Amino acid sequence: AQSVTQLDSHVSVSEGTPVLLRCNYSSSYSPSLFWYVQHPNKGLQLLLKYTSAATLVKGINGFEAEFKKSETSFHLTKPSAHMSDAAEYFCVVSNSGYALNFGKGTSLLVTP
């Protein structure tokens, strides 16, 4: 079985401060892991993906995530939040090569 747990349903940060969105995964095999972002009234967009090539993965818009097998974690970070980062973020795992298993999401609020 494969699943992800997003540890925070809501995260609030001030503009210009670091962002940390936490995700733990459960997988019987070497997983593919992803972070997707969903802005209101827009489609899901891939931020970054891990497929075993490198444990530190850089994505779009300054986001990055580190795969830690010993901790079964794949946390998403960004050094400095921007107002436009406010959105819903999903941690995703896939073993099958087709079905994506999404977490419940973390809503990121960025305050001025």
Partner 1 sequence: DTGVSQDPRHKITKRGQNVTFRCDPISEHNRLYWYRQTLGQGPEFLTYFQNEAQLEKSRLLSDRFSAERPKGSFSTLEIQRTEQGDSAMYLCASSHRGLGNEQFFGPGTRLTVL
Closest distance to partner 1 from the beta carbon of 6 (Å): 8
Q: How far does the chain reach from its first CA to its final CA, in angstroms?
A: 41
Cβ proximity to partner 1: between 28 and 70 the closer is: 28
Q: Find all residues with CB under 8 Å of 94, minimum gap 6, and list them.
A: 2, 31, 32, 33, 34, 100, 101
What is the Cα–Cα distance from 92 to 60, expressed in whole angstroms? 16
**Which residues sit at the interface with partner 1, rule CB under 8 A?**
36, 41-46, 49, 90, 92, 96-105
Taking the least distance from each CB to partner 1, the nearer of 73 and 106 is 106
Q: Write down the least CB distance from residue 4 to partner 1, Å.
A: 9
Q: Which two tokens stand for residue 77?
A: 């970070």
| Closer CB to partner 1, 1 or 42, in the complex | 42
For partner 1, the closer CB: 45 or 52: 45
Q: How far is the CB of 67 from partner 1 (least distance, A)?
A: 17
Q: What are phi and psi of 64, to 5 degrees?
A: -150, 160
Six token digits for residue 84: 């436009």
What is the nearest approach in angstroms of partner 1 to the Cβ of residue 70?
Answer: 25
